[in-house]
Amino acid sequence: MLLAALREQVLHANREIARRGLAPHTFGNVSGICRTGPEPLVVIKPSGVDYASLTAADLVVTNLDGKIVEGSLRPSSDLDTHTLLYREFPQIGGVVHTHSEFATAWAQAGRPIPCLGTTHADYFHGPVPVTDPLTAAEVAEAYVRNTGAVIVRRFRSENLDPLAVPGVLVSGHAPFAWGKSAVEAVEIADVLEYIARLAYRSVLLGASESGIPNYVSEHHYQRKHGPKATYGQI
């Protein structure tokens, strides 16, 4: 079986988004990429398969053009978004798409998630961005691929580093998150849902969407991710 170790990691990651309540029914998917070998290969969940019955052998292996290399099932309907993100963000090794409740609510409102506290600042270097809505032409031409394109366009227009801002809200749709591996991407997706919930409740309580002072958010982000990080064990 091709990419057995990566299959197991991606299988675990897909089960985790279901276990954590990030993907009700089958509303989500996780992929991972192997960038070594003759060409990069992506392992992704098959479309519509229940997480509880999913096996490593069910996962689908494709190249970055979406051509199936190994697998008998149809890959996730979001495959073209995943492959475009891997092409455009070569630093990442795993992608997660969920329909988690609070992050999806911000996406449906078309609003970025402001950095209202240090929990947010520990993981995202600034607000969680939201894309522009897809145009009618983009939907008609290639909806899934253009979902990836509007994500990349937002990151390019704001000069965002996908490792410093490891997630996004697709306007009117739902969140995508990523990391250096499929497992890390799930952790980011979980944190994204948590800070979306905190932000929603904070705004209801009257918090200003201007957020905490930049010097506080910058301190928290840098102490965890900066060149002189002090968080965790060396």
Query: H or E segment at 123?
Result: none
Written as one string, the DSSP assignment of 14-48 is: HHHHHHTTSSSTT--EEEEEE--SSS-EEEEPBTT
- Residue 162 corresponds to which amino acid? P
Domains and CATH numbers, the chain: 4-225 (3.40.225.10)
Q: Is 122 a catalytic residue?
A: yes
Mean predicted lDDT score pLDDT of the chain: 94
> Which pLDDT tens digit goes with each residue over 182-208?
999 999 999 999 999 999 999 999 998
Supply the pLDDT for residue 170: 98
pLDDT band at 92 (very low <50, low <70, confident <90, very high): very high
Nearest to 191 by CA among 106, 116, 100: 100
Look at residue 230 and tell me whether its pLDDT is greater than 90: no
Set 50, 122, 132, 215: catalytic member? 122
> Which pLDDT tens digit goes with each residue over 5-31?
999 999 999 999 999 999 988 899 999
Set 132, 143, 161, 231: catalytic member? 231
Mean pLDDT value across residues 38-54 = 94
